[in-house]
Structure 1
Amino acid sequence: MSDVATCPICTMPDPLTTVDGFECATCGHEWMAEPGDGLDDVRDANGNLLATGDDVVVIKDLKLDGKTGGVKSGTKVKGIRLVGGDHPIDGKVKGRGILIKAEFVRKA
């Protein structure tokens, strides 16, 4: 079972992710991401290493909760952020923030 990131000060689980680490929503403490947090080895469908700030293209139509249509194949997502979890890519499509699995994108 994977370790859930917790705040080193107040030990609350599931901190917010920032550009270079984490921030606790409870106490406001910020700390750098450690190797092994899952933010350093995110690869796209073609095996290319992704980093925060990269642009990606969606390679499969994705359905979104509560909205008709979703995200079409070929949609470009600019300036992604890498986050921990099973959906490691955080980006915006038409002003709406979404989380995407890495196997559904390729590096632009």
Structure 2
Amino acid sequence: MATVYLVRHGQASFGKANYDQLSPTGWEQGRVLGRWLANRLTPSAVFGGNLKRHRETVEAITTGFGSQLPDMQVTPGFNEFDHNEVVTRYRPEWQDREVMTR
């Protein structure tokens, strides 16, 4: 019987110009998870969305894992919804980041 492990991407760079990348904490989270997974399992497949933070999380996990993981099979259905669009539809004035910050 197969086992499926669901892993959310590491901490992204909230509040930065490019949210779609891991923060330093996110990179460390991935490496820690990779170290934990090492010697516990041998993945036969890795799936993720097409966002940069998804690829970076797999890269960080691979570093901690200590050996190569299968290439990530990109499945856009794993992408998150556009949170900026949700926020600005709720409060159009928040499209201006300075207004939203205040």
Which of the five TM-score ranges fits, normalised by the shorter chain? Answer: under 0.3
Give the TM-score normalised by the residue count of structure 1.
0.24
Answer with 1 or 2: which has the greater Rg.
2
TM-score (norm 2): 0.25
Higher helix share: 2
